[in-house]
Amino acid sequence: MFELIRSHRRWMQLILLLLIVPSFFLVGIQGYDSFMRQEPELATVAGQPISRAEFDQAHRNQLSQIQQRQGAQFDPAVVDTPALREDLLNQLINQRLLANVAVDNRFTVSDETLRNTIAAIPQFQDNGRFSPERYRQVLVAQGMSPTSFEAGLRRDLAVGRVLDPVGGSAGAPAEVVASLETALTQQRTVQLRRFAAEDYRSQVTVSPADIQSWYDANKQQLQIPEQVQVQYLVLDEAAATQGIQVKDEDLASYYEQNKSRFGQPERRRASHIMIELPPGASEEARKAARAKAEDLAKQAAADPAKFAELATKNSQDLGSAAKGGDLGWLAPGMLPGPLDKAIFSQTKDQVSGVIESPSGLHIIKVTEIQPAAIKPLAEVKDQITGEVRKQLAAVHFSEMASQLNKQVYDQRDSLQPAADAVGLKLRTASGVTREGLLPADKAGPGSAADSPDAELLDNPRVRQILFSPDVLREKQNSGVIELSPAVMLAVRVANVEPAHVPPLDKVSESIRSRLIQERSADAAKKAGEAALAADKANPSAAPEGLAPAVVISRQDPKDLPQPVVDAAMRLPSTPLPGYAGVQSGNDYTLVRLEKVESGNVDEAARARLAQQLAGGLGQAEIEAMLKMLREQYKVQILPSAAEVIRGDQPQAEG
C-alpha cells in the first residue's frame, strides 16, 4: 500500500485536497482556526477576546495576594467563591474596556507626569526622597524591568484619565447635604409602650389538629439535609505531648546549654551630675559648661562622700538631682555608649572624669555593684521541663504526622489501623452537612455541633472533603488535612443519612413552641394596634402605660431596636403628639412623639458628610458610564464564562 502511495503521489495530493477544502466550506475558516487554537474565550470587548488563560493568570495572582494577607488563615474553599470569580471577570472586562477608550480617544501621559508619579511612590523613596537605586532594587525583587514597569504605569495612568473626570466631578447639592444632615442629627422626644409577646402566652392554645395542619403545610421547612456521621483522627499539640516523659538528665543537659538564659547579668547602681549642653550651643557656651563640669568632677573626686550633695545642688537633671543624682539599678546597654562604658568599667565609689553624651556633660559615681548570677537548676526546673517537653513534642508531632500520612492510605476503608499505629483516639460525630453542622436536636446523639471539635469539623475544607465522591460514596479515608501547622485531621464517612422530613412525633414539640410564639406575637400586635387606635382617636387624653420620655436621634438611638427608631424618626413633625406602632421581633411597640428639635453639626462634620455623598455619587456615575461604554463597545460575556464562575472546570495551564 505504501508503495502505491509513493508511485501515485500526485493523485494522492489531489485526493487529500478534495477531502480538506470542502471542510472549510462546511465549518468555515473561523471555525477551523478556533479548532486549531483551542483557547476558550470568556468575553469579548469590541470583538477582542478575554481568554481563559488571561483569567486564570489574574485569578492565581488574586488568590496569591489574599494568601499573603491572611497567612495561615487562608482557606481557598472560603475565599474562592463564584462571587469573587465573577467580580474578577468584570474587572478584566472593565480594564480592557477602559484601555480601548484611552486608545481611541488618544489619552496620553507626559514623561514629566510619569516621573512625578514614580517619584511619589513611597516604596521607591529613601528618607522621603526618590532613590534611583531603591527603585531598581524594588523592581528587580518583583521580577520587573524599569521599561516594563514604566510602560504599565503609563498605560494605567492613561486609563485613569478616562474615569477621573467622571468620579472627580461629582458633588452633592447643598440642599441634599442639608436634608441628610437634618435627618441624621434631628432629636426627637418619644415615649414608648411595649406589648411583649411573652405576656400573652397564657392566652394562646395549640391543639393537636393545629400541629398536624402546620406539619402538612410546611414539610419543606422541616426537611433535614443530607448529613454524614464522621469518624476522624485529630493530631495536635495535645496528642503529640501526651505520654512524653522528661528525664532528669535531659533537664540537666538543657540547663547547661542554656545557662545564659537563666542568669541575671551584672547590675550597677550609679549616680551622676549633669550639666546641660544643647546640640547647637556656641563655642563660648560649650567652654563654660565644660569648665563647670571639670570643676565639679575635681570636687567630687576629692571627696566622693559629698557626691550626692554636689548633685543635689548642681545637677541640671531635675529628675535625679532631687535624689542626690541616683540613676537606680542599671543593666548593660541601658544608657548611651559613653555613659554605659564608664559605669561598667569603674570600681565602686570611683568618680569619673567629665563624660559627654547627647544630653550633656556627666560626672559618674558607681554606688553599688551586683555581680552576675545564674539561677540554680531547681529554681528554673518547671520552666525547663515545659520547654523540653515542647521540643520533644515537636519531634514526636513530626514523626506522628509522617506515620499518619502513610497509614491512612495503607488501609483506605478504615481509620482504626491508623489510630492504633499512631496512638490516636478514633472519634465519631454526627450531623455534618455540606453547609455546616446541624443543631444538636436535629443531629441526634454524638452531635458534631456539641463536640469539642466542632470548629474543626465545621471547617469548609473538611466539609468539602467529606462530601467528595471517594470519601462520601466509597467511604474511603481522606488524606491528612492540614488545618494549621499544629493541627492535622483525617476523616472518613461512617454513615450517610439522606435528606428527609422527620416524622411528626419527632417535631411536634418544636411546632407547638413555634405556633405558641407566633400566636403570642399576633396577640401582642392586636393589643398594641387597639391601643394605638384609641390614642389616635383621642390625642388630648393622657395615654396609659407609657414609659418615661427619652430623647433619641439616628446617631444616638439609646439602644432602642432599629424598627422602633425608624418608626419614631419617620413620624411627621406636626401635628404633635404623633403616634405610630411597629413590630419588633415578637413584640409590638407603640411610639408617641412629643417633641422635635434640630441637632447641632459642626463645619468639619458637614464637610465630611458632603465628601462622603460626593464619593458615593461619583462611584454611581462611574458605574453608569461603564454600563454605557459596555453597550458602545459591544461587550459580550460568553457561555463559557458561566462554567468558570461556577468553578466547574479546572484552570487552564498558564
pLDDT at 511 (0 to 100): 94
pLDDT at residue 278 above 50?
Answer: yes
d(CA 90, CA 646): 15
> Which tops the pLDDT comparison, 589 or 618?
589
Q: Please check whether residue 84 is in contact with residue 65, taking contact to mean a CB–CB distance below 8 angstroms.
A: no
| DSSP H helices in 237-376 | 237-241, 248-257, 283-302, 307-314, 318-321, 337-343
- Name all contacts of 104-111 with Cβ < 8 Å and 24+ positions apart: 105/162, 107/158, 107/159, 107/161, 107/162, 108/158, 109/154, 109/157, 109/158, 109/161
* C-alpha grid cell, residue 169: 466631578
pLDDT at 30 (0 to 100): 45
Beta-bridge partners for 580: 591
Buried b (16+ CB within 10 A) or exposed e, 220-229: eebebeebbb
d(CA 269, CA 278): 27
pLDDT band for position 19 (cuts 50, 70, 90): very low
pLDDT at residue 31 above 50?
Answer: no
* Residues whose CB falls within 8 Å of the CB of residue 312, separated by 6 or more in sequence, listed in order: 321, 322, 324, 325
Q: Please report how many Cα atoms fall inside a 13 Å half-sphere around the Cα of residue 426, on the Cβ side.
A: 15
Average pLDDT over residues 521-544: 89
* C-alpha grid cell, residue 133: 537605586
d(CA 293, CA 310): 11
Q: Is 261 helix (H, G, I), strand (E, B) or coil?
A: helix
Global pTM reads: 0.54
Q: Is 105 helix (H, G, I), strand (E, B) or coil?
A: coil
pLDDT at residue 15 above 50?
Answer: no
d(CA 412, CA 390): 32
| Arithmetic mean of pLDDT over the chain | 84
* Residues whose CB falls within 8 Å of the CB of residue 363, separated by 6 or more in sequence, listed in order: 272, 273, 293, 296, 297, 300, 351, 352, 353, 354, 355
Q: Please check whether residue 268 is in contact with residue 434, taking contact to mean a CB–CB distance below 8 angstroms.
A: no
Element (H, E) at 580: strand 578-584
Q: What is the pLDDT of residues 342-359, one digit of tens each?
A: 999 999 999 999 998 888
Q: For residue 23, count other CB atoms closer than 10 A to its CB.
A: 11
Spatial strand order of the sheet with 636-637 comes to 48-51, 41-45, 636-637
d(CA 197, CA 187): 29
pLDDT at residue 650 above 60?
Answer: no
pLDDT at residue 38 above 70?
Answer: no
pLDDT at 34 (0 to 100): 44
pLDDT at residue 23 above 50?
Answer: no
> Which tops the pLDDT comparison, 132 or 416?
416
Supply the DSSP string of 209-234, one letter for each residue.
Answer: HHHHHHHHH-HHHHPBPPEEEEEEEE
Average pLDDT over residues 109-113: 82
pLDDT band for position 8 (cuts 50, 70, 90): very low
Burial class (CB in 10 A: 0-12, 13-18, 19+), 290: middle
| DSSP assigned state of 548 | P
Residue 535 phi/psi, 5-degree rounding, is -65, -40
pLDDT at residue 160 above 90?
Answer: no
pLDDT at 648 (0 to 100): 61
Beta-bridge partners for 129: 126
Q: Please check whether residue 256 is in contact with residue 316, taking contact to mean a CB–CB distance below 8 angstroms.
A: no
Q: What is the pLDDT of residues 204-221, one digit of tens each?
A: 999 999 999 999 999 999
Q: Is 350 helix (H, G, I), strand (E, B) or coil?
A: coil
pLDDT at 517 (0 to 100): 95
Using the structure block, give the residue that is written with the C-alpha cell 537548676. 377
> Shortest CA distance to 595 belongs to which of 538, 545, 534, 552?
552
Q: What is the pLDDT of residues 43-72, one digit of tens each?
A: 999 889 999 998 998 888 888 888 888 776
pLDDT at residue 516 above 60?
Answer: yes
Average pLDDT over residues 119-139: 84
pLDDT at residue 460 above 70?
Answer: yes
> Shortest CA distance to 563 belongs to which of 528, 597, 538, 596?
528
pLDDT at 241 (0 to 100): 87
Supply the DSSP string of 153-213, one letter for each residue.
Answer: HHHHHHHHHHHHHHHHT----HHHHHHHHHHHH-EEEEEEEEE-GGGGGGG----HHHHHH
Q: What is the pLDDT of residues 462-501, one digit of tens each?
A: 998 999 988 999 999 999 999 888 899 999 999 999 999 9
- CA-CA distances (angstroms) from residue 77 to 80, 84, 433, 645? 6, 12, 15, 14
Burial class (CB in 10 A: 0-12, 13-18, 19+), 589: buried
pLDDT at 3 (0 to 100): 44
pLDDT at residue 272 above 60?
Answer: yes
pLDDT at 513 (0 to 100): 94
pLDDT at 7 (0 to 100): 47
Buried b (16+ CB within 10 A) or exposed e, 631-647: eebebebeeebeebbee
Q: What is the pLDDT of residues 371-415, one digit of tens each?
A: 888 888 888 888 888 888 888 888 889 999 999 999 999 889 999
Q: Please check whether residue 109 is in contact with residue 161, taking contact to mean a CB–CB distance below 8 angstroms.
A: yes
- CA-CA distances (angstroms) from residue 280 to 275, 276, 284, 358, 442? 15, 12, 12, 11, 79
* Residues whose CB falls within 8 Å of the CB of residue 66, separated by 6 or more in sequence, listed in order: 74, 79
Q: What is the 3-state secondary structure (H, E, C) of 122-133?
A: HHHEECCEECHH
pLDDT at residue 130 above 50?
Answer: yes
d(CA 95, CA 156): 9
Burial class (CB in 10 A: 0-12, 13-18, 19+), 569: buried
> Which tops the pLDDT comparison, 180 or 203?
203
d(CA 97, CA 636): 11
- CA-CA distances (angstroms) from residue 93 to 49, 60, 223, 387, 435? 10, 17, 42, 55, 32
* Residues whose CB falls within 8 Å of the CB of residue 95, separated by 6 or more in sequence, listed in order: 159
